[in-house]
Structure 1
Amino acid sequence: MTNGRDRLRELLDAVLEEGNTTLSAMAQDAFASPYHFTRQFSRGTGESPVALKRRVLLERAAWQLRHGSSVTEVAFAAGYDSVEGFSRAFSRAYGHPPSADDESKQHWLPAANGIHFHPPMSLWVESEPKGRHHMDPTSLLVHHDLDDTRELMKLATGLGEEQYRRGREAHLVLGWDGPDDSIATALDHLVWTKEVWLASIDGADTPPRRPDDLPTLMRRLDEVGPHWLDTIRDIDRRDGWGDTLIDALCEPPESFVVGSVIAHVLTFSAHRRQLVRHWLRSEIPDSTTEFDNGDPIMWLRERG
């Protein structure tokens, strides 16, 4: 019988095989259905197969650019149909276009699972850092928050535009965010809150507001999720929960205890997720869709 570690290696091999350009091809190579393949892989790595492959290929592209390859060469090697598409993806991931890349920059992107491209054609898997057990409540709540947000977004794709943006009883969850008065605004705030706090922690500028249509929101969640997880793991690794964050994005600047920031985000994320769940139930009352109640116990049971 194949043990868990070997099976994860098989799944990684199926994802990173050059010829496996679709989820179906990856799953077939691993002798599994796309559904079970995605479920096994995500449980083992905390990242979807497509997202991990895209990230690792971008890391490889960054390394290749720094070693003399042209943007055109690395774009097509990374599976993009055009240089323009590759440049947009690279810029979103690294914060600068591929033409501005240089040796001084890190080619690894944030990844909570520690899996990265390692030259010339292999993977580097960081050892598990000392820190919270994966069953620690903080770890569970952080992962559940991201997974539950994505599930709610998927459910919302069944709505029409009018339903998605329909004005509802306004809930002022957080004063500086403005009211949560539609499914669209509540889902946007779930992502925006993490984007803003990460900018504060990183010492970066306030991120620009971006569209809140569902395809864009899902892409934003894909971008912010790994960075959010990686940041929390780093805080835990260095036991930085009691550190003080001076938030220069506030006017005037304010100080916050780092642990309280994470608790703050989780508290109001839970509120907003339940608000969206309630509104979705009212919009899809006769659907065969089964709405869970957002319980981390049931979420963990389903993952196991």
Structure 2
Amino acid sequence: MSNGRDRLRELLDAVLDEDNTTLGQMAAGAFSSPFHFARQFSRGTGESPVSLRRRVLLERACWRLGGGAAVTEVAFAAGYDSVEGFSRAYTRAFGHPPSATPPATGRTPRWLPSVNGIHFHPPMSLWVEGEPKGRSDMDPTALLLHHDLDDTRLLLKTAAGLTEEQYRRTRLAGATVLEWDGPEESIAAVLDHLIRTKEVWLASIEGADHPVRGGDDLPSLMARLDDIGPRWLDTVREIDRRGGWGDTLIDALCEPPESFVLGSVIAHVLTYSAYRRQQARYWIRGASPDDDTVGWGDPIDWLRRRD
């Protein structure tokens, strides 16, 4: 972006004006119709006005929470009508609830995945990473990490509509995804392995003991996901922050110990998570063919719903 005032800067100012909470108000602030405003803005940033405003305000909320601000105060400042609505949106975005936001250290940007490099910069301005290049600049790793956790949560919620027999029935005798993980013959087993693989790899990365295996009933799986999800995202963010994708992990949990490149570990987890999610989805749909809640697991549809 140039240092002088240009049309895109005016559009951004209209979006982030504290008084412009709707598309109509944003457009009026830029002296444009809502249709032409939205089209110009999306063409210039690769993101809708409402989506960018919501994301930047969530980034500001994270910064304020890290500085010790109260959740209620931050929620209403971010434009939410209730603390509950803010908490749900914040947890989906950052992988942990507002109350679990760590104190600000001044070292790590509290930014969400962006298609254009435009982010919140305190106290209420913007930071642009390089030159915006549209959707080719989207970080697929970050999107896939968030999609994996959100899609797993959707599968757990949908599986709650199954009977215990449907949930635990052997669907394919001897079905094995990875030899060392053992058979995954039921919906219960596949969902358990979806979460277990992150628990084990995170323990390896942290140098912790082999984690005790939790229950595979749905409430236990949801609790395990709530625990591992934020920690998994924070760990990957830290690897990315320090440029550690090529670092070598010596996994003492293997017998004998093995070495792995960290980037390949994340790729491994995402690859087999995608396969397991689709396997679970196929079996859940077969058990309840009249319920389309489970969807198709498409990251494109997921990203559109988030916008």
| TM bin (shorter chain) | 0.5 to 0.7
Q: Secondary structure at the match of 2:102?
A: strand
Establish whether residue 180 from structure 1 lines up as the match of residue 190 from structure 2.
no
CA distance change for structure 1 residues 276 and 144 in 2, over 3 Å: closer, same or farther? same
1:131 to partner: Cα distance: 11
1:236 to partner: Cα distance: 1.0
Q: Secondary structure at the match of 2:295?
A: coil
- What letter matches 2:109 in structure 1? E
User: What residue in structure 2 maps to residue 16 of structure 1?
Assistant: 71
CA distance change for structure 1 residues 127 and 231 in 2, over 3 Å: closer, same or farther? closer
CA distance change for structure 1 residues 131 and 257 in 2, over 3 Å: closer, same or farther? farther
CA distance in 2, matches of 1:264, 1:160: 32
User: What residue in structure 2 maps to residue 249 of structure 1?
Assistant: 253
User: What residue in structure 1 maps to residue 28 of structure 2?
Assistant: none
**TM (normalized to structure 1)?**
0.65
Q: Which residue of 88, 91, 116 maps to 2:102?
A: 116
Identity %: 56
Residues 10, 30 of structure 1: 8 Å contact kept: no
Establish whether residue 52 from structure 1 lines up as the match of residue 101 from structure 2.
no
Query: Which runs of 5 or more structure 1 residues have no equivalent in the other structure?
Result: 19-25, 56-114, 118-122
**TM (normalized to structure 2)?**
0.65
Query: Which runs of 5 or more structure 2 residues have no equivalent in the other structure?
Result: 1-16, 19-52, 116-137
1:280 to partner: Cα distance: 0.6
Give RMSD over aligned pairs: 3.3
Residues 43-82 of structure 1 correspond to what in structure 2 (within 5 A)? 45-47=93-95, 51-53=97-99, 55=100
Q: Secondary structure at the match of 2:263?
A: helix
Could you report, residue by residue, the CA deviation over 1:209-258 in whole angstroms, capped at 9, with x for unpaired residues?
Answer: 11111111111111111111111111111111111111111111111111
Q: Secondary structure at the match of 1:251?
A: coil
Aligned length: 228
CA distance change for structure 1 residues 7 and 148 in 2, over 3 Å: closer, same or farther? closer
1:168 to partner: Cα distance: 1.1
- What letter matches 1:153 in structure 2? L
CA distance change for structure 1 residues 211 and 15 in 2, over 3 Å: closer, same or farther? farther
1:126 to partner: Cα distance: 6.2
1:40 to partner: Cα distance: 3.8
Establish whether residue 211 from structure 1 lines up as the match of residue 185 from structure 2.
no
User: What residue in structure 2 maps to residue 41 of structure 1?
Assistant: 90
Residues 256-295 of structure 1 correspond to what in structure 2 (within 5 A)? 256-287=260-291, 289-295=292-298
Residues 58, 90 of structure 2: 8 Å contact kept: no
User: What residue in structure 2 maps to residue 142 of structure 1?
Assistant: 145
1:141 to partner: Cα distance: 0.8
Structure showing greater radius of gyration is: 2
- What letter matches 1:293 in structure 2? W
